[in-house]
Amino acid sequence: MVNEWLLSLARWLDAQSWSTQLHESIYMYAWVETTHVLTLAVFLGMLFVIDLRMLGLVFTDTPASKIAARLDTPMMVGFVVMVATGLALYYAIPVRSTQSIWFRIKLLLLVAAGVNAFLFRARMRASVGTWDMDPKPPRHIRVGAGTSLLLWAAVVICGRTIAYDWFDCHKQLPYFMYWAAGCVDEMAALE
Protein backbone atom coordinates (compact mmCIF):
# COMPACT_ATOMS: atom_id res chain seq x y z
CA MET A 1 0.00 0.00 0.00
CA VAL A 2 2.58 2.63 1.09
CA ASN A 3 5.12 1.36 -1.43
CA GLU A 4 2.57 1.63 -4.24
CA TRP A 5 1.67 5.17 -3.21
CA LEU A 6 5.32 6.25 -2.94
CA LEU A 7 6.10 4.74 -6.36
CA SER A 8 3.18 6.45 -8.05
CA LEU A 9 4.27 9.78 -6.52
CA ALA A 10 7.83 9.16 -7.76
CA ARG A 11 6.58 8.27 -11.26
CA TRP A 12 4.44 11.43 -11.31
CA LEU A 13 7.50 13.55 -10.42
CA ASP A 14 9.63 11.63 -12.93
CA ALA A 15 7.18 12.47 -15.74
CA GLN A 16 7.70 16.18 -15.18
CA SER A 17 9.98 17.85 -17.74
CA TRP A 18 11.86 19.78 -15.03
CA SER A 19 12.83 16.52 -13.33
CA THR A 20 14.21 15.16 -16.59
CA GLN A 21 15.96 18.43 -17.43
CA LEU A 22 17.66 18.53 -14.02
CA HIS A 23 18.69 14.87 -14.23
CA GLU A 24 20.01 15.21 -17.79
CA SER A 25 21.54 18.66 -17.31
CA ILE A 26 25.24 19.00 -18.18
CA TYR A 27 26.14 21.12 -15.17
CA MET A 28 23.12 21.78 -12.90
CA TYR A 29 22.82 18.29 -11.39
CA ALA A 30 26.54 18.24 -10.63
CA TRP A 31 26.33 21.72 -9.05
CA VAL A 32 23.39 20.69 -6.89
CA GLU A 33 25.14 17.53 -5.75
CA THR A 34 28.42 19.36 -5.16
CA THR A 35 26.57 21.91 -3.02
CA HIS A 36 24.89 19.02 -1.15
CA VAL A 37 28.30 17.55 -0.38
CA LEU A 38 30.21 20.79 0.33
CA THR A 39 27.51 22.10 2.69
CA LEU A 40 28.27 19.08 4.88
CA ALA A 41 31.36 21.00 6.01
CA VAL A 42 29.20 23.89 7.21
CA PHE A 43 26.27 21.96 8.69
CA LEU A 44 28.05 18.95 10.19
CA GLY A 45 31.24 20.92 10.85
CA MET A 46 29.37 23.24 13.25
CA LEU A 47 27.21 20.45 14.68
CA PHE A 48 30.21 18.22 15.43
CA VAL A 49 32.00 21.06 17.29
CA ILE A 50 28.89 21.66 19.42
CA ASP A 51 28.51 17.91 20.12
CA LEU A 52 32.21 17.51 20.98
CA ARG A 53 31.92 20.41 23.46
CA MET A 54 28.83 18.76 24.96
CA LEU A 55 30.87 15.56 25.31
CA GLY A 56 33.51 17.57 27.21
CA LEU A 57 36.19 16.83 24.56
CA VAL A 58 36.91 20.30 23.07
CA PHE A 59 36.83 23.98 24.17
CA THR A 60 36.20 22.81 27.76
CA ASP A 61 37.19 26.23 29.13
CA THR A 62 34.44 27.96 27.10
CA PRO A 63 30.79 27.98 28.35
CA ALA A 64 28.86 25.31 26.43
CA SER A 65 25.95 27.65 25.74
CA LYS A 66 28.35 30.19 24.16
CA ILE A 67 29.64 27.59 21.67
CA ALA A 68 26.08 26.49 20.87
CA ALA A 69 24.85 30.08 20.45
CA ARG A 70 27.78 31.11 18.20
CA LEU A 71 27.58 28.09 15.87
CA ASP A 72 23.79 27.65 15.75
CA THR A 73 23.00 30.11 12.91
CA PRO A 74 25.65 28.89 10.39
CA MET A 75 24.66 25.31 11.31
CA MET A 76 20.97 25.98 10.60
CA VAL A 77 21.79 27.79 7.33
CA GLY A 78 23.83 24.73 6.31
CA PHE A 79 20.94 22.44 7.29
CA VAL A 80 18.45 24.38 5.16
CA VAL A 81 20.82 24.24 2.14
CA MET A 82 21.31 20.45 2.70
CA VAL A 83 17.55 19.85 2.73
CA ALA A 84 16.92 22.09 -0.31
CA THR A 85 19.66 20.46 -2.41
CA GLY A 86 18.62 17.02 -1.15
CA LEU A 87 15.04 17.58 -2.31
CA ALA A 88 16.40 18.72 -5.70
CA LEU A 89 18.52 15.55 -5.96
CA TYR A 90 15.44 13.48 -5.12
CA TYR A 91 13.36 15.40 -7.69
CA ALA A 92 15.97 14.69 -10.38
CA ILE A 93 15.94 10.89 -9.84
CA PRO A 94 12.67 10.23 -7.95
CA VAL A 95 11.97 6.62 -8.93
CA ARG A 96 15.44 5.25 -8.24
CA SER A 97 15.74 7.25 -5.01
CA THR A 98 12.31 6.09 -3.81
CA GLN A 99 13.31 2.48 -4.46
CA SER A 100 16.74 2.88 -2.82
CA ILE A 101 17.03 1.01 0.49
CA TRP A 102 19.84 3.45 1.47
CA PHE A 103 17.71 6.50 0.75
CA ARG A 104 14.88 5.05 2.83
CA ILE A 105 17.18 4.26 5.77
CA LYS A 106 18.69 7.75 5.43
CA LEU A 107 15.25 9.41 5.70
CA LEU A 108 14.45 7.35 8.83
CA LEU A 109 17.82 8.37 10.32
CA LEU A 110 17.13 12.02 9.45
CA VAL A 111 13.86 11.85 11.40
CA ALA A 112 15.61 10.16 14.35
CA ALA A 113 18.41 12.78 14.27
CA GLY A 114 15.77 15.55 14.17
CA VAL A 115 13.90 14.13 17.19
CA ASN A 116 17.18 13.70 19.08
CA ALA A 117 18.18 17.32 18.29
CA PHE A 118 14.78 18.59 19.48
CA LEU A 119 14.96 16.68 22.79
CA PHE A 120 18.62 17.65 23.25
CA ARG A 121 17.86 21.37 22.85
CA ALA A 122 14.96 21.16 25.31
CA ARG A 123 17.11 19.35 27.90
CA MET A 124 19.97 21.77 27.39
CA ARG A 125 17.78 24.86 27.75
CA ALA A 126 16.21 23.42 30.92
CA SER A 127 19.49 22.62 32.69
CA VAL A 128 22.37 24.62 31.17
CA GLY A 129 22.34 27.13 34.02
CA THR A 130 23.67 24.47 36.38
CA TRP A 131 26.56 23.13 34.26
CA ASP A 132 27.41 25.71 31.57
CA MET A 133 30.98 26.27 32.78
CA ASP A 134 31.64 22.60 33.59
CA PRO A 135 34.34 21.08 31.34
CA LYS A 136 32.31 17.82 31.34
CA PRO A 137 28.51 18.33 31.02
CA PRO A 138 26.11 15.96 32.84
CA ARG A 139 25.50 12.44 31.52
CA HIS A 140 22.10 13.08 29.86
CA ILE A 141 23.68 15.88 27.79
CA ARG A 142 26.65 13.71 26.79
CA VAL A 143 24.31 10.87 25.78
CA GLY A 144 22.33 13.27 23.57
CA ALA A 145 25.51 14.60 21.94
CA GLY A 146 26.93 11.09 21.40
CA THR A 147 23.65 9.92 19.84
CA SER A 148 23.69 12.95 17.55
CA LEU A 149 27.22 12.18 16.32
CA LEU A 150 26.31 8.54 15.60
CA LEU A 151 23.03 9.35 13.83
CA TRP A 152 24.52 12.03 11.57
CA ALA A 153 27.51 9.80 10.72
CA ALA A 154 25.00 7.10 9.67
CA VAL A 155 23.09 9.66 7.56
CA VAL A 156 26.32 10.52 5.71
CA ILE A 157 27.19 6.84 5.14
CA CYS A 158 23.69 6.12 3.77
CA GLY A 159 23.85 9.25 1.62
CA ARG A 160 27.09 8.04 0.08
CA THR A 161 25.84 4.48 -0.52
CA ILE A 162 22.72 5.72 -2.39
CA ALA A 163 24.92 5.86 -5.50
CA TYR A 164 25.68 2.10 -5.36
CA ASP A 165 23.19 -0.33 -6.96
CA TRP A 166 23.90 -3.33 -4.67
CA PHE A 167 20.24 -3.63 -3.65
CA ASP A 168 18.50 -1.98 -6.62
CA CYS A 169 15.23 -3.52 -7.82
CA HIS A 170 16.80 -5.02 -10.97
CA LYS A 171 19.02 -7.23 -8.77
CA GLN A 172 18.05 -10.70 -7.53
CA LEU A 173 16.96 -9.90 -3.96
CA PRO A 174 15.05 -11.76 -1.25
CA TYR A 175 11.33 -10.83 -1.03
CA PHE A 176 11.88 -8.87 2.18
CA MET A 177 14.49 -6.66 0.47
CA TYR A 178 12.10 -6.00 -2.46
CA TRP A 179 9.50 -4.94 0.13
CA ALA A 180 11.95 -2.77 2.15
CA ALA A 181 13.20 -1.06 -1.01
CA GLY A 182 9.70 -0.65 -2.42
CA CYS A 183 10.26 -2.77 -5.55
CA VAL A 184 6.52 -3.03 -6.23
CA ASP A 185 6.74 -4.58 -9.74
CA GLU A 186 9.30 -7.16 -8.66
CA MET A 187 7.17 -8.16 -5.65
CA ALA A 188 4.13 -8.54 -7.91
CA ALA A 189 6.18 -10.78 -10.24
CA LEU A 190 7.06 -13.05 -7.30
CA GLU A 191 3.44 -13.39 -6.05
- What would you measure as the largest C-alpha separation in the chain, in angstroms? 63
Q: Count the residues of the shown chain that bind ligand HEM, applying the rule CB under 6 A.
A: 20
Binding mask 20-59 for ligand HEM (x = CB under 6 A): -------------x--xx--x-------------------
CA atoms of 33 and 125, how far apart (whole Å): 35
Site for ligand HEM in 6-25 (CB under 6 A): none
Tell me which stretch binds ligand HEM (CB under 6 A): 5-13, 45-53, 80-88, 125-133: 80-88
Give the nearer residue to ligand HEM in terms of CB position, either 96 or 142. Answer: 96
Tell me which stretch binds ligand HEM (CB under 6 A): 63-71, 78-86, 136-144, 168-176: 78-86
Residue 181 within binding range of ligand HEM, rule CB under 6 A: no
Of the candidate residues 57, 69, 87, 122, the single one contacting ligand HEM (CB under 6 A): 87
Residue 94 within binding range of ligand HEM, rule CB under 6 A: no
Of the candidate residues 67, 95, 109, 159, the single one contacting ligand HEM (CB under 6 A): 159
Q: Which of 87, 46, 54 is nearest to 70 (CA)?
A: 46
Give the nearer residue to ligand HEM in terms of CB position, either 34 or 130. Answer: 34
At 171, which amino acid appears?
Answer: K
Of the candidate residues 156, 177, 180, 187, the single one contacting ligand HEM (CB under 6 A): 156
- Which DSSP string corresponds to the chain? -HHHHHHHHHHHHHTSHHHHHHHH-SSHHHHHHHHHHHHHHHHHHHHHHHHHHHTTSS-TTS-HHHHHHHHHHHHHHHHHHHHHHHHHHHHHSHHHHHT-HHHHHHHHHHHHHHHHHHHHHHHHHHHHHHHTT-SS--HHHHHHHHHHHHHHHHHHHHHHHTT--TT-TTS---HHHHHHHT-HHHHHHH-
> Which residues lie near ligand HEM (CB under 6 A)?
33, 36-37, 40, 79, 82-83, 86-87, 89-90, 97, 103, 110, 155-156, 159-160, 162-163
